[in-house]
Amino acid sequence: MEYVNIIIDDKPIKAEKGQTILKAARQAGIGIPTLCYYELNGQQLENRPGGCRVCVVEVSGRKNLAPACATEVMEGMEIKTHSLRVVNARRTVVELLLSDHPASCLICSKSGNCELQSLAQKLGIRDIPFKGEQSMYKKDFSPAIIREMNKCIMCRRCETVCNKLQTVGALSAVNRGFMAVVAPAFEQDLAQSPCTMCGQCVQACPVGALSEVNQTRQVIQAINNPAKKVVVQTAPAVRVALGEEFGMEPGTIVTGKMAAALRRIGFDYVFDTDFAADLTIMEEGTELLGRISKFMAGDKSVRLPILTSCCPGWVNFFETNYSDMLDVPSTAKSPQQMFGAIAKNYWAEKIGVKREDMIVVSIMPCVAKKFECQRDEFKENGNPDVDYSLTTRELAELIKQFNIDFNTLPDEDFDNPLGASTGAAVIFGATGGVIEAATRTAYEIFTKKKLDKVDFNALRGLDGVRSATVDFDGTPIHIGIAHGLGNARKLLDMVRNGEANFHAIEVMACPGGCVGGAGQPFHHGDFSKVEKRFEAIYREDEGKPIRKSHENPYIKQLYEEFLGEPCGEKSHHLLHTHYFDKSKQVEVEA
Amino acid sequence: MIKVKLAEDKINKIKEICTSFGNKAGEAINVLHKVQGEFGYLPAEVQEVIAKELNVSVANIYGIVTFYSFFTMIPKGEHPISICMGTACYVRGSEKILDEFKRQLKIAIGETTPDGKFSLNCLRCVGACGLAPVVLIGDKVYGRVTTDKVQEIIGEYKA
């Protein structure tokens, strides 16, 4: 490593050659405020258009102020980060931004989490001296995401995330000057674009321009309707992140407090999506083994690899971008939808409630789940298996609205039977977890031997694309893993071009898997928070007495009482789905 | 599946242009330039095909089209009218000339009349400042234009 000597705010510093002033300063413990800058550490994502000019610094010998995020350090540089000139310029920049920003902080969904708001507070801005035109755009509602471009500050984080990290390409900066805005092609609504509703743009947006569709009011209404039985299910990744909304350290496990809070909010049954994750493993694992055995027996009608289908952003992505491979993903529904199907077809009957009188609410780390539960194929006579899907953030909002002191809640358990789960289900929340859970079960079924060590460390980690070979007692099973849709594209292109031979591939649309989901507490680009949630998932798994899905006693009971066998006729009807071609094709006009 | 429909010869022409630039995403501006030269404008379907050929998102292509004022998604009229807004023309009253054209044609800048005959645009200096204010219709230059002359000029092309 080559170093250069620089001086920041009179402090001599050895900085890495090629580093930006911003990074060198931060490493030396000198804070420079930023706004458009966004980095996901370790995920090869950096947005630094140098456009907002909030990070400007004074560099000796230069006439103009330099953006710290986009200026490289040079030998002998003398930098002032808080000179009067810098402070005044920074202030003017923020005042100008505020002059074209609605001052509706009191009722904005991002209030308290808004980076522009906190910057304005930090700089002590009490007046907006510039009066000018205000941008006026119509609100755009997609099934999961709301765009309010009046609030857009053109940091272009969403554009970078959508194109570079996710390679979805739904968003781009369009028009110029005052009219410039981030929008889908032809300024159509998001619903008409190739948007997968992964929501990473919502996670990245520093202001309230992008947010999720909020359904807390509908849920409160359902809970207060005496004619309805309201069932709630919570996804694995929620329990390792929810605490952050109440001042806890990232990675704090709050499973018990969460169950207690849900009960106090008034849900009739507090169940767990983890139960359905175990069920998913039974179905998907059986399907995987079935396909592998047929393939090995020379059956040309089956295609490998099998792709996981738990992640709704990923499902939307392959329906749009890999419509030639729609027979490759597992037909297993996601845990959210399996839960809904079981709740409304099995549990409702068991407790003597009509399907229409049961409301299923899911708490998800996800924005795309809001769209998934609205899909027509997951409805029966118009009645959805899952009525409302709330994000982790919306649950925190509910807890606050109900005036519950989360931190002092006792630990409570989920209700049974749909609340019992294994460690295999918990790890669904982290990249590599679904396939590890599937491996734990598939190994035992395939080899008919007991698995002594359930930890498959080769499948774990946070590298964007990973591969590993698991020894199924002499049969090598090749597994591919990708998280982030850009990484998924790399892996899928390899498969499409015949450059990779995997038996199974797991994909999660969000970086880190569901722990880094778009519905999780805002991390503001601090990926170490996601890493801590990731570690917590595996701690929760370790602490579980049962760690293999097929050993979940309530899953066994469900098959005995109701479903029959995995991938049987009843499961096929209730727990499996099919996919649609959503690609865009150019056709010759007749 | 969402279908984008376009005439076969147009699709082929676009593909030919994209191929001539090696189907490179970095050549998007050149491709758009050439395609607009061919069709006169860049409608949505055309942008879709270009995006597919260059393997970039159509949002990105649209971003380029809307950023550069040279690109247009509206077909130009049979007789494109350009009013010079350069300094010399401006001080000699070109804004009033522009207003008169707008009034008579009932269109705004960047628009085309419903019959497709005229489109209206501004430009900055054609190097004929001695003739200010200057109006261009197609390649023909009209100098020392006054508001009274506008009707007569339009009339030349109406037949």
Which of B56, B62, B67 lies at the smallest CB-CB distance from A176? B67
| Same structural domain, A320 and A249 | yes
Identify whether A124 is part of a domain: yes
- B55: closest chain A residue by CA: A169
| Same structural domain, A174 and A224 | no
Model pLDDT, residue A80: 97
Judge: B1–A588 Cβ closer than 8 Å, yes or no: no
Model pLDDT, residue A44: 85
Judge: A172–B49 Cβ closer than 8 Å, yes or no: no
ipTM for this prediction: 0.91
Catalytic residue among A244, A319, A372, A531: A372
**With 90 as the cut, is the pLDDT of residue A64 above it?**
yes
> Does the bond joining A312 to the residue before it have cis omega, within 30 degrees of 0?
no
What average pLDDT does this structure show over A467-495? Answer: 95
Which of B1, B56, B59 lies at the smallest CB-CB distance from A585? B1
Identify whether A91 is part of a domain: no
- A582: closest chain B residue by CA: B1
Task: Show residues of chain B in contact with A181, CB under 8 Å.
Answer: none
**With 90 as the cut, is the pLDDT of residue A265 above it?**
yes
What's the structural domain count of chain A? 3
What average pLDDT does this structure show over A124-133? Answer: 92
Identify whether A240 is part of a domain: yes
pLDDT digits over A152-166, tens only? 999 999 999 999 999
What average pLDDT does this structure show over B92-109? Answer: 95
Name every residue in A having a CB less than 8 A away from some CB of B: 163, 168-176, 183-186, 193-194, 323, 581-589
In the annotation, is A373 catalytic?
no
Judge: A587–B56 Cβ closer than 8 Å, yes or no: no
Which of A193, A582, A585 lies at the smallest CB-CB distance from B59? A193
| Same structural domain, A69 and A124 | no
Domain range for A151 is: 98-212
Min CA distance, A486 vs chain B (Å)?
14
Distance of alpha carbon A557 from alpha carbon A563, whole angstroms:
9
In the annotation, is A195 catalytic?
no
| Same structural domain, A56 and A105 | no
Q: What are phi and psi of A152, to 5 degrees?
A: -70, 135
What average pLDDT does this structure show over A427-445? Answer: 96
| Same structural domain, A167 and A259 | no
Domain boundary residue among A82, A117, A151?
A82
A359-387 burial, b at 16+ Cβ within 10 Å, e below that, comes to bbbbbbbbbbbbbbbbbeebeeeeebbbb
**With 70 as the cut, is the pLDDT of residue A147 above it?**
yes
Instruction: Kindly state the DSSP code that residue B70 receives in the 8-state scheme.
Output: T
Task: Show residues of chain A in contact with B49, CB under 8 Å.
Answer: 586
Model pLDDT, residue B113: 93
- Using alpha carbons, list the distances in angstroms from residue A357 to A351, A543, B87, B140: 12, 36, 73, 75
| Same structural domain, A157 and A184 | yes
Distance of alpha carbon A20 from alpha carbon A1, whole angstroms:
15
Judge: A584–B62 Cβ closer than 8 Å, yes or no: no
Task: Show residues of chain A in contact with B63, CB under 8 Å.
Answer: 172-174
What is the overall mean pLDDT for chain A? Answer: 96
Question: Do β-strands A78-80 and A56-59 pair in parallel, antiparallel, or remain unpaired?
Answer: antiparallel
What average pLDDT does this structure show over A58-67? Answer: 95
Model pLDDT, residue B125: 86
In the annotation, is A311 catalytic?
no
Model pLDDT, residue B158: 81
CB A164 within 8 A of CB A45: yes
| Same structural domain, A422 and A435 | yes
| Same structural domain, A194 and A281 | no
Model pLDDT, residue B53: 96
Distance of alpha carbon B151 from alpha carbon B156, whole angstroms:
9
Name every residue in B having a CB less than 8 A away from some CB of A: 1-8, 11, 44-45, 47-49, 52, 56-63, 66-67
Identify whether A200 is part of a domain: yes
Judge: B63–A193 Cβ closer than 8 Å, yes or no: no
Model pLDDT, residue A589: 85
Min CA distance, B52 vs chain A (Å)?
9
| Same structural domain, A548 and A484 | yes
**With 70 as the cut, is the pLDDT of residue A574 above it?**
yes
Identify whether A87 is part of a domain: no
Is residue B20 helix, strand or coil?
A: helix
Judge: B62–A169 Cβ closer than 8 Å, yes or no: no
In the annotation, is A310 catalytic?
yes
Model pLDDT, residue A43: 85
- B57: closest chain A residue by CA: A169
In the annotation, is A569 catalytic?
no
Catalytic residue among A142, A193, A309, A330: A330
Cβ-Cβ contacts under 8 Å between A and B: the total is 78
CB A465 within 8 A of CB A569: no
Min CA distance, A167 vs chain B (Å)?
9
Identify whether A88 is part of a domain: no
Task: Show residues of chain B in contact with A323, CB under 8 Å.
Answer: 1
In the annotation, is A372 catalytic?
yes
- A188: closest chain B residue by CA: B59
Half-sphere exposure of B80 (CA within 13 A, CB side): 14
For residue A379, the cross-strand partners are A384
| Same structural domain, A353 and A204 | no
What average pLDDT does this structure show over A38-62? Answer: 91
- B44: closest chain A residue by CA: A186
Which of A173, A184, A587 lies at the smallest CB-CB distance from B3? A587
Domain boundary residue among A82, A106, A123?
A82
**With 70 as the cut, is the pLDDT of residue B159 above it?**
no
Domain boundary residue among A20, A49, A82?
A82
**With 90 as the cut, is the pLDDT of residue B40 above it?**
no
Model pLDDT, residue A525: 93
In the annotation, is A284 catalytic?
yes
Judge: A174–B67 Cβ closer than 8 Å, yes or no: yes
Model pLDDT, residue A56: 97
Among A216, A268, A274, A225, smallest CA distance to A395 is for A216
- A590: closest chain B residue by CA: B7
Supply the CATH number for residue A415's domain. 3.40.50.1780
**With 80 as the cut, is the pLDDT of residue A312 above it?**
yes
Tokens of A192: 């008409």
Identify whether A586 is part of a domain: no
- Using alpha carbons, list the distances in angstroms from residue A107 to A110, A112, A113, A208, A519: 9, 11, 13, 11, 20
CB A312 within 8 A of CB A319: no
Catalytic residue among A229, A333, A344, A369: A369
| Same structural domain, A205 and A221 | no
Judge: B58–A175 Cβ closer than 8 Å, yes or no: no
For residue A14, the cross-strand partners are A5
Judge: B4–A194 Cβ closer than 8 Å, yes or no: no
In the annotation, is A436 catalytic?
no
Distance of CA A323 to the CA centre of its chain: 23
What average pLDDT does this structure show over B58-77? Answer: 92
Instruction: Give the model's confidence band at A57: pLDDT under 50 very low, under 70 low, under 90 confident, else very high.
Output: very high
Model pLDDT, residue B69: 81
- A320: closest chain B residue by CA: B1
Which of A172, A581, A588 lies at the smallest CB-CB distance from B1? A581
| Same structural domain, A9 and A113 | no
Model pLDDT, residue B107: 95
Judge: B62–A186 Cβ closer than 8 Å, yes or no: yes
For residue B136, the cross-strand partners are B82, B141
Instruction: Give the model's confidence band at B139: pLDDT under 50 very low, under 70 low, under 90 confident, else very high.
Output: confident
Distance of alpha carbon A156 from alpha carbon A52, whole angstroms:
10
State the pTM of this model: 0.92
pLDDT digits over A211-227, tens only? 999 999 999 999 999 99
Judge: A584–B4 Cβ closer than 8 Å, yes or no: yes
Catalytic residue among A152, A310, A311, A510: A310
Identify whether A9 is part of a domain: yes
Supply the CATH number for residue A19's domain. 3.10.20.740
